[in-house]
Amino acid sequence: NRIYQSLLLQKAKGHKSFAVLIDPDKVNASKIDELTTLAVEARVDYLFVGGSLVISNQLDEVVQQIKRNCDIPVILFPGSPSQVSRFADALLYLAVISGRNPELLIGQHVISAPFVKQSGLEIISTGYMVIDGGAPTTVSYISNTAPIPADKNEIAMCTAMAGEMLGMKLIYMDAGSGARRPITESMIEKVSQVIETPLVIGGGITNPEKAYLNCKAGADVIVIGNAIEKDASLIKEMAAAIHSVPVKTS
Ligand code: 1GP
């Protein structure tokens, strides 16, 4: 479990990580070349690959091209159980713990278990929490779950604690891709104080200042997709902001 160990080590050191989210449906070969070149230059920590709706079946090809281009670990962030590629380094094994849809808590896992196990991928069990981002996002529609209200810090805290006690190795709070309102720093701070697992934050982060403030509040990994899809040159500024957060000295 090489990737998870690196996440734990970075958290222990207080090093904040930056993950660029690549939607396999929205990239072609030249876009992947552009993104990986920029990501290497900016010292991006992880590349997440996935989307709520993967329409094409080019996941393997996308992952293989990324792996040919660079050494940045590729972590699958699957929107559905079919989004598995053995060419990646790890898989976020998501249970949507903010929702009450049994299919996304255990049903789909049971069906895909042999296939996932056979992939040989490093599996990182992840408590996935959808937080209301101010507008219906694809994730809330597709998952058929109600998101946690943006101002209900206590619900988010209790959900994250429960996920950790159930054995989840990572907590991922997501306002949904393209969220109008990203998760508040106050919620990030409160949740980070009650768990020990690394905390991943994403959804609607469009500027380096917000990425920086999220890290200061307690995020360990910042995920950015949409904003980079619109302007790939943002990778550099985002990475600089996230990596500028002072490392713990104690
Ligand atoms: C979505 O957390 C990710 O699942 C990233 O969101 O595309 O809004 O950056 P954005």
- Could you tell me the residue ranges of all domains in the chain? 2-243
CA distance 205 to 184: 11
Site residues for ligand 1, CB cut-off 6 Å: 21, 174, 177-179, 202-205, 223-227
Mean pLDDT of 18-37: 96
Q: pLDDT grade, residue 88 (50/70/90)?
A: very high
Listed range (54-63, 89-98, 182-191) with the worst mean pLDDT: 54-63
* pLDDT score, position 54: 66
3-state helix, strand, coil in the chain (%, to 5): 45, 20, 40
Contacts of 80 (CB under 8 A, 6+ apart): 54, 108
**Cα atoms found within 13 Å of the Cα of residue 176, Cβ hemisphere only:** 25
Q: Which CATH superfamily is domain 2-243 in?
A: FMN-linked oxidoreductases (3.20.20.390)
CA distance 26 to 23: 5
ipTM computed for the complex:
0.98
How far apart are the CA of 171 and the centre of ligand 1, in A? 15
Amino acid identity, position 30: S
- Which atom in ligand 1 lies closest to the alpha carbon of residue 201? 2
- How many Å lie between the centroid of ligand 1 and the Cα of residue 248? 27
Supply the residue whose CA is at minimum distance from atom 1 of ligand 1: 177
**pLDDT tens-digit readout, 38-55:** 999 999 999 999 987 767
Each residue of 104-147: pLDDT tens digit? 999 999 999 999 999 999 999 999 999 999 988 788 888 899 99
* Ligand 1 atom, smallest distance to 227 CA: 9
